[in-house]
Amino acid sequence: MFRRILRLATSVAMLCLVACSDDNPSDASVVSPESSGTPVVSGESSSSVAESSSGDAGESAANVASSSSENVAATSSSVIANSSSSAKAPKNTAACMWKGTDEYVPVKTGLDPDDKYGAGYWYNFGDSFKGGKSFIEFPINDDDQLNEWENIVRLIGECGGYCGALVLDRGSANEAYAGFGFNVAGVEDPMKSNPIDGVREGDISEWGGVCVTYAADQDVYLELEADSAALYEVKLDKSIDFVEKCVTWNELNAEESSKHARSIRLKMKSTEKMTGHLTVSAIGKYDANGTCEIEGYAYVIPDGMRSFLAGTIVLRSSSSGQGSSGSGVSENCTVPQDVSEMWNGFAAPLTTVETGLDNGTETSGYWFSFGDDMSGVGSVKLPQPLGIEYTTGDEIYDYCMGVCGEFEFAKEGDLGVGFHVAGMVDPMDGGSSVAKANISSWGGLCVTYASESDLDVVLAYAQNDGFGNLSRMPKVTLPKSIELRTECVDWEKFMSVYSEVSWTFMTSVLFVVHGDANAKSRFNIRGLGKYSDKTNFCSPGDDPFVSGKMGLVIP
């Protein structure tokens, strides 16, 4: 009666882009300055830091390694705010030099107009030349078919900025640190790996300072490197929300040194082992009112989705629709991810709905389609042919970050997709007996979806000959919406001719569309979670019927 869409067959690869702090950096087109041992100059609002070195920058973002990190799981939505001015003051957007959402890799410093010296390209650095063991782990798998900068474009697309997990371990050094930055004027020979004294100096005094839009779960240190590798530093407080902080050269005590600048860098540091997550989404010249308009909300990838992504703070887009302000920035709204703990397409790739009620057979939560069999009602078209009964699901779910497809009706009837709450009674006997489960503790369901037709959410009892009469089962109808929409409905609102036992002993949750002959209707189930009384949800703003992913195949 039904056809399964997927069965988990492979684990997610744990290879990540990693910049390992190494005394012998890999070949890279962006390099760091050679250390001169010049002491750090610190301003009134700054603190002293160790001198720079050729061994701590320019390490390739294309190095691939397998590593683990401490995970931080949280979610947050907020308006992107400028910390240095009134919320109503207009920003000087002409001074914005780079935004991750533009997917343009170099920061437009103006000191390398022909892109001859590689100015503005992001590089990574660490503490290896001092005996440290810190490194940076990136939330994408390196693609060997692409060059280094193409992989960085994928990274920026994944996060809406330059991002990574900074895994700090001081080793034999006094202090651990790692971070990323860009050279303001480039290097003399971008094709040479780590040239001695190869970093060019540039006069950026007319900038007046720098504005950085970032999100971080640990304090961050903004540095200006100048004057033969002297560093001028100021601390930026941690913020899970994206914020713009603007700092003058005077605050860095670097007014004169800004005429001989080499690079702008951001790093985390610690005397203890720790992991911090940092995403930089915009860079601009100083303006008291801020410079870069960034629309969207911060989302922290939760633990359990993709372990090498967990804790990463990413910028997700929002539109002027549901739960957002007229400017297109989410305001006082809840991100759908907060109520999608069972199925979170925003953190694809996915495998199964995490019902928490598997009967021990590990067959719960797998999506299947129904109505597209010998009944002749029609077919459920998925993003690509299944080919075999079971697939890894990555190809299907990565396409539009959910379970998605198109219902094509040959005659009037019902088509749909669904999953079993507890799984099969005996998966090996070839039968279709489905286990029952008590889902009353869920309280109801929150669904993030898009559908070109009204979508019935049905609490079903699987039978030997199918699901029987769906109209007699408890259900709620979600209104059609061509934009992603989040609805939370408690069990009491599910229409039923039965008593509470209807959701106390359930087998399946179905998503059903009733259609006329020759009709077509697209759908996407992006998120599922237990009932919440929240009502104001942010709109993700991407097209739910095509791949909304950037770079890696993501939103």
Q: Which residues of 461-478 are buried (b: 16+ CB within 10 A; e: fewer)?
A: bbeeebbeebeebbbbeb
pLDDT tier for residue 75 given thresholds of 50, 70 and 90: very low
Section 125-144 average pLDDT: 84
Distance CA 110, CA 19 (A): 27
Encoded tokens for 178 = 């790692």
Tell me: do 447 and 350 sit in the same domain. Answer: yes
Higher per-residue confidence, 201 vs 549: 201
Measure the CA angle with vertex 448, ends 443 and 453; round to 5°: 110
Tell me: do 288 and 354 sit in the same domain. Answer: no
pLDDT value at residue 151: 79
330: phi then psi, degrees, rounded to nearest 5: -60, 135
Section 381-405 average pLDDT: 62
Domain assignment of residue 149, given as a range: 15-70+96-293
Tell me: do 415 and 267 sit in the same domain. Answer: no
How many Cβ atoms are within 10 Å of 115's Cβ, its own excluded? 12
Does residue 212 carry a pLDDT above 80? yes
Tell me: do 229 and 359 sit in the same domain. Answer: no
pLDDT value at residue 189: 82
Strand order in the sheet with 2-4: 2-4, 367-370, 413-420, 508-515, 455-460, 475-478
Q: Which of 140-154, 429-443, 500-514, 536-550 has the lowest mean pLDDT?
A: 536-550
Residue 477 lies in a domain: yes
Per DSSP, the three-state class of 510 is strand
Chosen domain end from 293, 327, 362:
293
Best CA proximity match to 123, nearest among 262, 277, 217: 262
pLDDT tens-digit map of 224-233? 999 776 889 9
Distance CA 324, CA 241 (A): 16
Q: Return the residue matching tokens 């882009």.
A: 17
pLDDT value at residue 498: 58
Residue 544 lies in a domain: no
pLDDT value at residue 298: 83
CATH assignment of the domain containing 409:
2.60.120
Q: Which of 190-194, 274-278, 460-464 has the lowest mean pLDDT?
A: 190-194
Contact 473/496 with Cβ under 8 angstroms? yes
pLDDT value at residue 402: 86
Highest mean pLDDT among 82-96, 117-131, 273-287 belongs to 273-287
Per DSSP, the three-state class of 445 is strand
pLDDT value at residue 103: 65
pLDDT value at residue 246: 96
Chosen domain end from 293, 318, 352:
293
Does residue 295 carry a pLDDT above 90? no
Amino acid found at 60: S
The DSSP letter of residue 329 is S
Distance CA 122, CA 158 (A): 15
Higher per-residue confidence, 342 vs 389: 342
Higher per-residue confidence, 502 vs 322: 502
Section 107-121 average pLDDT: 92
Encoded tokens for 471 = 């109209």
Residue 47 lies in a domain: yes
Tell me: do 268 and 352 sit in the same domain. Answer: no
Residue 249 lies in a domain: yes
Residue 318 lies in a domain: no
pLDDT tier for residue 179 given thresholds of 50, 70 and 90: very high
Give the total residue count for the chain: 555
Residue 520 lies in a domain: yes
pLDDT tier for residue 311 given thresholds of 50, 70 and 90: confident
Encoded tokens for 340 = 């999608």
Does residue 110 carry a pLDDT above 80? yes
Highest mean pLDDT among 269-273, 359-363, 366-370, 470-474 belongs to 269-273
Contact 264/182 with Cβ under 8 angstroms? yes
- Strand residue runs (E) in 452-546: 455-460, 475-478, 481-490, 508-515, 520-530
pLDDT tier for residue 449 given thresholds of 50, 70 and 90: very high
- Strand residue runs (E) in 11-103: 15-20, 64-66, 81-82, 96-99
Measure the CA angle with vertex 380, ends 375 and 384; round to 5°: 140
Tell me: do 341 and 288 sit in the same domain. Answer: no
Residue 39 lies in a domain: yes
Measure the CA angle with vertex 373, ends 368 and 376; round to 5°: 135
pLDDT tier for residue 79 given thresholds of 50, 70 and 90: very low
Amino acid found at 547: S
Tell me: do 387 and 283 sit in the same domain. Answer: no
Percent of the chain with pLDDT over 90: 44
pLDDT tier for residue 155 given thresholds of 50, 70 and 90: confident
Q: Which residues pair with 393 in a beta bridge?
A: none
Please state, in angstroms and as integers, the Cα–Cα distance from residue 548 to each residue in 131, 279, 348, 486, 544, following that order. 43, 20, 11, 17, 7
Tell me: do 390 and 444 sit in the same domain. Answer: yes
pLDDT tens-digit map of 347-383? 755 778 999 999 999 889 988 888 876 678 999 887 7
Tell me: do 431 and 361 sit in the same domain. Answer: yes
Q: Which of 38-52, 303-317, 485-499 has the lowest mean pLDDT?
A: 38-52
pLDDT tier for residue 496 given thresholds of 50, 70 and 90: low
pLDDT tier for residue 208 given thresholds of 50, 70 and 90: very high
Tell me: do 35 and 162 sit in the same domain. Answer: yes
Residue 84 lies in a domain: no
Q: Which of 12-26, 97-111, 231-245 has the lowest mean pLDDT?
A: 12-26
Does residue 43 carry a pLDDT above 80? no
Best CA proximity match to 450, nearest among 479, 408, 474: 479
Tell me: do 288 and 340 sit in the same domain. Answer: no
Indicate the pTM of the whole model.
0.52
Higher per-residue confidence, 498 vs 404: 404
Tell me: do 125 and 220 sit in the same domain. Answer: yes
Highest mean pLDDT among 157-161, 229-233, 297-301, 447-451 belongs to 447-451
Total domains present in the chain: 2
Contact 377/414 with Cβ under 8 angstroms? yes
